Amino acid sequence: FPASRPPAMSDPITLNVGGKLYTTSLATLTSFPDSMLGAMFSGKMPTKRDSQGNCFIDRDGKVFRYIL
């Protein structure tokens, strides 16, 4: 996330999961704090960015919709 302003819970966040883009909110990603997504987006784990600045997750993009 940009250092100038952390995202608000309702700000849209775009994820690149295996080349498929998903847009959701920080509130959704952190709704289960003990999950991998909860850890990644609460700052407990580092996140990677793609060339467009989207958070990159190296997993199956089609299957991720069920996780999200």
In terms of C-beta density within 10 A (0-12 exposed, 13-18 middle, 19 or more buried), how is residue 41 classed? buried
Domain borders along the chain are 12-65
Q: Is the pLDDT of residue 4 over 80?
A: no
Q: Which CATH architecture has domain 12-65?
A: 2-Layer Sandwich (3.30)
Over residues 12-30, the pLDDT tens digits come to: 999 999 999 999 999 999 9
Task: Report the pLDDT value the prediction gives residue 46, as an integer from 0 to 100.
Answer: 86
pLDDT recorded at residue 6: 60
pLDDT in tens, 35-55: 999 999 988 988 899 999 999
pLDDT of residue 59: 94
Sort residue 31 into left (φ over 0), alpha (ψ -120 to 50) or beta: alpha
